[in-house]
Structure 1
């Protein structure tokens, strides 16, 4: 049977946020997914985000993905910074209220990697435990000293080695300077949008969600 996500609207800091929500019986956790740069056409329907959502679904997770302010039917206009993290925090609060007993896993692709990392630090500081954080081709250059990563959950960084949007060396240097334990996975002969490599991405993520 084909399982479809349900369109929902979530109250955000500057108005409603358009989202897709998938419930699951006997779920092992909740996955929240953050999409790439809205100024460059990024939405929750991006194919990398869609692959990550299906991977989490197949691993038995409840999933929620959403459009930042000013994207699709979400209210407001782009902030390209803390505003999008505020949006993600509102979605996290919404899904945690529905499933307070389930651990939360965060995913972020590209600009969404910055959003998910910043959100993870905020949630941990507020006493919200995280199961894990996945940063996929993350826009690490957007992280500032004020963006504190979560420290107590597994961190998995997945970086294409021929990324034409986020320079791989930026991510490698950031990873090398990161004091907390983490896993850096390099995807050979792969560009930013994982053309022809989406199966490889799923194969990296799925076992790390299932253990």
Structure 2
């Protein structure tokens, strides 16, 4: 997983990038929580889930985190960082036909906003999206199918808040929202990482298998 430094809107951004294993490989970008870094264990799991399946995969530190320049910007600048990261990825993967975004907590919120702005994103994974802390009203309508996972005992992101978001998204046509609740799991899935990983990997496999050959 080679270290990369690429230009962001407010200075250099630090990341880890794994090229795809085949021509025209799909692309995935992984977004971290706040506070947190690209080395967060859930972010790392998401990154590995995509790299193992041959995706060109990038995880990176938002502005002001690690060696990334700039300062925390309450989501506005971080969304610009994510867009710049995707632009950078596309320079090296111009023929990629499929793009995914995955994020944990704050990163899930940023990822869903990126999804609304970039029509090439066809799949998403949101782990513990903070629907009780941030406004997800911009998902009108949500343009892509995806997976939402939360812990039943999450002390940061309320299960009810996530359920309201899921219920709203499931009323929309032409997309499918898969929702999984991990019983006993807190915000960090400390004892349920194996189960979380299985849900993520099974979802990616199912979506990729359904694509036309």
Structure 2-normalised TM-score?
0.88
Aligned counterparts of 2:101 and 2:114: Cα–Cα separation in 1:
9
Contact preservation (8 Å) 1:117, 1:150: no
Q: Which residue of 2 aligns with 1:165?
A: 156
1:101 Cα deviation after fit: 1.5
Contact preservation (8 Å) 2:13, 2:68: yes
Gaps of 5+ in 2: none
- Which deviates more, 111-120 or 129-138? 129-138
Residue in structure 2 matching 1:18, options 14, 17, 31: 14
The alpha-carbon distance between structure 1 residues 114 and 60, as it changes in their structure 2 partners (threshold 3 A), is same
Structure 1-normalised TM-score?
0.89
Aligned counterparts of 2:197 and 2:65: Cα–Cα separation in 1:
26
Q: Which residue of 1 aligns with 2:34?
A: 37
Aligned counterparts of 2:47 and 2:141: Cα–Cα separation in 1:
22
Q: Deviations over 1:67-121 (max 9, x none)?
A: 0010001111001221101100000011012102211110010000100000110
Aligned counterparts of 1:208 and 1:174: Cα–Cα separation in 2:
19
1:149 Cα deviation after fit: 6.2
Aligned counterparts of 1:207 and 1:45: Cα–Cα separation in 2:
23
Q: Which residue of 2 aligns with 1:72?
A: 66
The alpha-carbon distance between structure 1 residues 19 and 32, as it changes in their structure 2 partners (threshold 3 A), is same
Moved over 4 A (4+): none
The alpha-carbon distance between structure 1 residues 159 and 116, as it changes in their structure 2 partners (threshold 3 A), is same
SS for the counterpart of 2:144 is: coil
Contact preservation (8 Å) 1:17, 1:67: yes
Matched, 1:187 2:178: no
1:209 Cα deviation after fit: 1.5
1:153 Cα deviation after fit: 2.4
Gaps of 5+ in 1: none
Q: Which residue of 2 aligns with 1:136?
A: 127
Contact preservation (8 Å) 1:132, 1:153: yes
1:151 Cα deviation after fit: 3.5
Aligned counterparts of 1:194 and 1:47: Cα–Cα separation in 2:
10
SS for the counterpart of 1:142 is: coil
Contact preservation (8 Å) 2:31, 2:110: yes
SS for the counterpart of 1:196 is: coil
Aligned counterparts of 2:125 and 2:63: Cα–Cα separation in 1:
22
Task: Please show how residues 39-118 of structure 1 align to structure 2 within 5 Å.
Answer: 42-102=36-96, 103-118=98-113
Aligned counterparts of 1:143 and 1:107: Cα–Cα separation in 2:
18
- RMSD between aligned residues: 1.5
